[in-house]
Amino acid sequence: MVEPSLIRAAREGDREALITLLRKIETHVYRTAYYLVGNEQDAMDAAQEALIRIYTKIGSYEEKAQFKTWVQRIVTNICIDKFRRSKPTVSIEEHEMVFEGRESVEGEVMAACAAKDIREAIDRLPEHHRAVVVLRYLQDFSYNEIADSLDLPLNTVKSYLFRARQQLQVLLRDYQKGGVRG
Amino acid sequence: MNCQEVMEYMQRELDGDLGEIESAKLREHIRHCADCTEMYERLKRLSTELENLPKVTPPFSLVDAILPKLEEIDRAASAANRDAGPAGPGAGAAGIPDQDESAPSTPRRRVSRFNLRVLGGVVAAGIVAGVFLVTYDRDATSDLLSGHYAAESASSDSSSSASSSGSSEPVLMFGAVNQMGEVTDQYGSSPDPSAGAGDAADSSASAPEVRPTSGSDLKTPHEKAVGGGTDPEAKAGSAPGSDSGAHAGSDGRSASDGAEDADRMTLPAVRPGESVGIVAESEEPAEKLEGDGQLGITAFPEEPAASSVESVSPDGSYIAVFADSRVIIYDRNGNTRFEGEEREGAIAAFGWTDDGAFFRYEIRRGDGTGEIYRIDPAAGTETREP
C-alpha cells in the first residue's frame, strides 16, 4: 500500500516524506478507528492521535515488521485503550464454552440487542473480536497480519474471528426473522 | 467429520484458508447435512455483508488538521537536539521545553530538580502499581494470563511514559491530544533523565509480575501513572528515595546519559561511562511498548468470565486456552504444545500446579457429572485423574 522507499526516507528523517506517508495512510487509519470506536468524532480523535504517534515514533519502526501492521497496531491500541466505550458487549466465550447452553445464548443476545443492522452488531462484539473483524474485512488482512497487528497468537486470531462471525450470524438471522427466534 | 469440525472448515473457507482436499470434504458434508448447508449459507451472506461495509473516509484531511501540532513537535525536537546533542528524533520528539532553546546551559539546576520530580513521580506510580498488584487477591483472578500480561503492560506503560519521549508521553496516552503542547512547555526536560526514571519504574513495576492479578484492575496503576506524570511534585514526596535508587540501580540500562544528574540524586550503581546510545536506549523500549501494551490490552476489555478461559503458567512458559470445548496449550512463542480432545461440558475449575509442570482442569456437565484432567505440556500428554 505504500512504497518502501517512502517509508525508508521517512524513517531517515525526511519530513516531507513522512508527511506524504501520513497522507497515504490516513484513510486506512481512520477507517479502522471508525469501526472500532463506532462514531465519527471519536474516530477523528483516535485517528489523529494515531497519526501523531506514528509521526513521533517512525524512528522506532523496524523494517522486519510490515509497515501496515505496525500502523494498525498503533491505531487499534489507541482505540481499544483510550476510546473504550461503556456499552455492553455480548460475552462470547462465556457461553460458547457451554455447548448445550446455545439456545439461551441466542435468547440473551436477542434481549441485549435490539439493533437491526450489521454495524450495530459489530459494535456489540467484545473489542478484540471487533478488531479482528475490522482488520479482516476493512483492511483485508490475513490471519498472520491480524496476529501481528494485535499481538495475538495465530490460533487466537482464528478463534476470535470464527466466534465473532458465528455471533454476528446469529444476530443477523434473528433480525431477518423479525426478532422471532425459531 | 462432525458438524463442529465442519463449522471450522466453513469459517476457514470464507477466508480462503482451505486446501483442495479440505474443500472437497466440506462440500461432501454439506451435501448431506441440511443444518450445515443452512449455516454455511448464512455465514457466506454475513461475510459478503462484511466485505461490503462502507469504506468510510475522513470528512477532512486529518494530516492537515494535525500539521500545527507536528510543527510544534518538530520545534521541541530540534530544541532537544541542540540541548542534548545525541538525542535522536525518537527520543527528542517531545518533552523539550521551548525556553531551553534560548539558554541551554543555565537551567541545569532546574532540570536536575525536575529529574528528581519525574523520577519520584514515576517511581511512586510504579510502587503504587506494584503494591496494588502484590496485595490484590490472586485467587479472585482465576486468570493468570491476563494478570501476567497486565503486569507487563503496567510496567511497560510506565516505563514508556518516561523513556520514549519525555514527559509528554503520559498525556499522549492518557489525556487529550491537544494538551500536548502545554504540557511539553510546562514539564519538558531533556530526555535522558526521564529514560532513567522509566527504567526505575520498569524494574519496580516488574517485580510483582510473579503475583499476577486480574486484568480488569489494570486501570488503577494506569491512573496512578497519569497522576505521577502530570503532578510529579506531589508524588515525589511519597516515593522513598532509597527505593528509587535500588530500582534504578538494579537495571543496567538505567539513567544512561543522566549520570551527571544521577550523581546529585544519589542513585547508586549508575555508571557514568554509559553515556552511549541514548537513541537506542530510548527507542527500543518505545518499540517494545507497542507490543506489550497490546498484550496488556488482551486482558483489558473482556468480561471477567470471558478471560477465564485462558491461563498462563506460573513461570510464563505456557498459556492454556480453553476454547471450542477443548484445552490447547501454547508455549510463549505461540506454538501449540498440546491440543486436547473435545470435552462435553463446561470448564468448572482450572489452574497450573505451583511448579508449572501440569495444567489441571475440571469438566462439569449439566447432569452433574464430570472429571478432572491433568496435562503435561512438556510431554504433550493428558491423563484423567481418578
pLDDT bracket for residue A176 (50, 70, 90): low
Closest Cα in chain A to B63:
A23
Say whether pLDDT at B292 is over 50: no
The percentage of chain B sitting over the pLDDT mark of 70, rounded to a whole number, equals 41
In whole angstroms, what is the distance from residue B172 CA to residue B362 CA? 44
Comparing B76 with A29, which gets the higher pLDDT?
A29
- List chain A residues with CB under 8 Å of B73: 52, 55-56
- Min distance B43 CA to chain A CA atoms (Å): 6
Residues A114 and A133 in one domain: yes
Closest Cα in chain A to B299:
A128
Residues A30 and A74 in one domain: yes
**Domain limits at A33?**
4-82
Residues A104 and A77 in one domain: no
Closest among A169, A122, A94, A156 to B36, alpha carbons compared:
A169
Spatial strand order of the sheet with B326-331 comes to B310-312, B318-323, B326-331, B336-339
φ, ψ (nearest 5 deg) of residue A48: -65, -40
Give the highest mean pLDDT range of A143-147, B110-114, B226-230, B311-315: A143-147
ipTM of the prediction: 0.81
Do B302 and A126 make contact, defined as CB atoms within 8 angstroms? yes
Comparing B124 with A3, which gets the higher pLDDT?
A3
- Min distance A148 CA to chain B CA atoms (Å): 9
In whole angstroms, what is the distance from residue B95 CA to residue B184 CA? 5
Tell me if A50 is assigned to some domain. yes
pLDDT at B190: 40
The minimal CB distance from A151 to the residues B67, B291, B330 is found for B291
Q: Is there a contact between B56 and A31 (Cβ–Cβ < 8 Å)? A: yes
Amino acid at position B341, single letter: E
- Min distance A97 CA to chain B CA atoms (Å): 6
pLDDT at B332: 77
Q: Is there a contact between A92 and A164 (Cβ–Cβ < 8 Å)? A: yes
> Tens of pLDDT along B43-55?
998 999 899 999 9
Q: Is there a contact between A34 and A40 (Cβ–Cβ < 8 Å)? A: yes
Closest Cα in chain B to A76:
B294
- Min distance A49 CA to chain B CA atoms (Å): 6
Q: Specify the range with the lowest mean pLDDT, choosing from A17-21, A55-59, B86-90.
A: B86-90
> H-type helices in chain A, by residue range?
4-11, 15-37, 40-57, 67-82, 92-96, 102-112, 118-123, 127-137, 143-150, 154-176
Mutate to test the interface with A, among B3, B46, B159 (most CBs of A within 10 A): B46
Do B177 and A55 make contact, defined as CB atoms within 8 angstroms? no
Say whether pLDDT at B351 is over 80: yes
Length of chain A: 182
What's chain B's Rg over C-alpha atoms? 26
**Mean pLDDT of all residues belonging to chain B:** 61
- List chain B residues with CB under 8 Å of A43: 58
Tell me if A129 is assigned to some domain. yes
Residues A77 and A106 in one domain: no
Mutate to test the interface with B, among A11, A30, A60 (most CBs of B within 10 A): A60
- Which residue, A82, A104, A122, sits at the end of a domain? A82
pLDDT at B337: 83
- Min distance A31 CA to chain B CA atoms (Å): 6
Global pTM reads 0.46
Tell me if A172 is assigned to some domain. yes
Closest Cα in chain A to B10:
A162
> Tens of pLDDT along B180-228?
433 333 443 444 444 334 344 444 443 343 344 443 344 334 444 443 3
The minimal CB distance from A48 to the residues B57, B65, B279 is found for B65
> Tens of pLDDT along B129-186?
666 666 555 444 444 444 444 444 444 444 444 444 444 333 334 333 344 433 333 4
- Min distance B206 CA to chain A CA atoms (Å): 20
> Tens of pLDDT along A54-72?
999 999 998 888 999 999 9
Do B301 and A133 make contact, defined as CB atoms within 8 angstroms? no
Enter the C-alpha cell of residue B222: 494506569
- Tell me what the mean pLDDT of segment A150-166 comes to: 95
> Tens of pLDDT along A98-112?
333 344 444 444 433
Closest Cα in chain A to B56:
A31
Residues A53 and A30 in one domain: yes
Count of helix runs (H) and strand runs (E) in chain B? 16, 8
Tell me if A122 is assigned to some domain. yes
Residues A37 and A72 in one domain: yes
Overall domain count for chain A? 2
Do B284 and A34 make contact, defined as CB atoms within 8 angstroms? no
CA B126 vs CA B159, B227, B276, B316, B324: distances in Å: 9, 11, 26, 21, 38
- Tell me what the mean pLDDT of segment B4-32 comes to: 93
The minimal CB distance from A51 to the residues B62, B88, B290 is found for B62
In whole angstroms, what is the distance from residue B25 CA to residue B19 CA? 10
pLDDT at B322: 77
Closest among B239, B207, B121, B106 to B169, alpha carbons compared:
B121
The minimal CB distance from A126 to the residues B14, B174, B301 is found for B301
Residues A66 and A96 in one domain: no
- Tell me what the mean pLDDT of segment B314-327 comes to: 80
H/E element, B368 = none
pLDDT bracket for residue B15 (50, 70, 90): very high
pLDDT bracket for residue B340 (50, 70, 90): confident
pLDDT at A86: 53
φ, ψ (nearest 5 deg) of residue B380: 70, 30
Mutate to test the interface with B, among A29, A69, A79, A97 (most CBs of B within 10 A): A97
- Which residue, A82, A101, A133, sits at the end of a domain? A82
Q: Is there a contact between A18 and A55 (Cβ–Cβ < 8 Å)? A: yes
- List chain A residues with CB under 8 Å of B36: none
φ, ψ (nearest 5 deg) of residue A19: -65, -45
- Our CA dihedral for A74, A78, A81, A86, rounded to 10 degrees, sits at -140
- List chain A residues with CB under 8 Å of B301: 80, 84, 89, 126-128
- Min distance B243 CA to chain A CA atoms (Å): 30
Residues A40 and A74 in one domain: yes
pLDDT bracket for residue B243 (50, 70, 90): very low
In whole angstroms, what is the distance from residue B78 CA to residue A95 CA? 55
> Tens of pLDDT along A82-102?
766 555 566 655 444 333 334
Do A23 and B298 make contact, defined as CB atoms within 8 angstroms? no
- List chain A residues with CB under 8 Å of B306: 91-94, 126
pLDDT bracket for residue B362 (50, 70, 90): confident
Residues A15 and A76 in one domain: yes
Give the highest mean pLDDT range of B9-13, B323-327, B377-381: B9-13
H/E element, B349 = strand B346-352
The CATH code of the domain that includes A144 is 1.10.10.10
pLDDT at B110: 44
Say whether pLDDT at B23 is over 90: yes
Do A166 and B7 make contact, defined as CB atoms within 8 angstroms? yes
- Min distance A75 CA to chain B CA atoms (Å): 11
Tell me if A182 is assigned to some domain. no
Amino acid at position B66, single letter: I
Residues A69 and A102 in one domain: no
Tell me if A144 is assigned to some domain. yes
